[in-house]
Chain A
Amino acid sequence: MTMDTANGVEIRIPSELGYEKVAMKAGEALASLLGFVPARIEDLKTAISEAVINAIEHGNKLNKELSVVVLMTVNSGRLEIEVHDKGQGIATKKKVAPDIDARIEGIEDARGLGMFLIQQLVDEVEFSHDSAEGSYIRMVVHIGGVDGK
């Protein structure tokens, strides 16, 4: 299967928790068409879920009037997924393992694992911020890499 890199797949979903599953299913279908192994498809689904939930909750503040747009394209052996919202975005985060001890002791909030999971589950992550258009997370999975197809 080939994909025109100028197009790809675009999904627009309401900013309501639960709709991340639509994007997950679409990502699963696309990754399957591209021949990804099942384990990598599961990684991608979780990464998409976390990125879309972040867009719904933090970017669009659960405002159902606003949409989250998910763009999936294949470009030079890379599956790129962008998740767009109308928020201010976040600065690029260093990959820091969560302090599970602090969370168990209640010293740190148990929440906030989404970004860490994304960074662990895909090959590249880019966060954009402070754009007048909104913000996005771009996730890249290398097709045909060691853990890919």
Chain B
Amino acid sequence: MESELKIDVESVSGVVILKMHGDVTSFAEEELLARFDSQTAAGERKFVLDFSGVDYINSSGIAIIIQLLSRAKKNEARVLCCGLTAHFQKVFEMVGLKKYTELYSNSEEAVQHLQ
């Protein structure tokens, strides 16, 4: 019943952009964390999570983002987020995620801040 999360991976100016399409829920855990882990294992340390193709994030999805940011911290990687709706920017702020990431309107802005 759950919608799948599809992730396109793109590299721009030394930054890995993980562009998500679909729902960020508990069913996204394997795909999102596996993609992130394979990129950090390959030595990548600058990331943008692009949520512009995401309509629905629930608390399980937020938990996965927290896990990802936790792994980023351990790997000394920087992760910025972009494309969140105003509502989910508010939710990210409520749970304290802005302490560990920054929110931008689009991937171009986010990539620029990682240069």
Question: Which of A's residues lie within 8 Å of B, judged by CB?
Answer: 16-21, 39, 42-43, 46, 49-50, 53, 97-98, 100-101, 103-106, 109-114, 116-117, 120
Contact = CB atoms under 8 A, between A and B. Distances in A.
A111 B91 contact: no
A98 B92 CA distance: 12
Interface string B60-87: 1011101101100100000000000111
Contacts of A120: 94
Interface residues of B, number: 28
A25 to B, nearest CB: 11
Given A100-B99, A104-B73, A110 B56 contact: no
A120 B95 CA distance: 10
Nearest to B62: A113
B58 A110 contact: no
B40 interface: no
Contacts of A112: 59, 63
A117 B26 contact: no
Given A111-B59, A113-B95, A104 B100 contact: yes
Contact of B85 (A16, A42, A98): A42
Given A46-B58, A101-B99, A110-B63, 17 more contacts: A16-B1, A18-B1, A49-B58, A50-B58, A97-B96, A98-B95, A100-B95, A104-B66, A104-B69, A104-B100, A105-B70, A106-B70, A110-B66, A110-B67, A111-B63, A113-B59, A117-B59
Nearest to A54: B59
B59 A114 contact: yes
Nearest to A111: B63
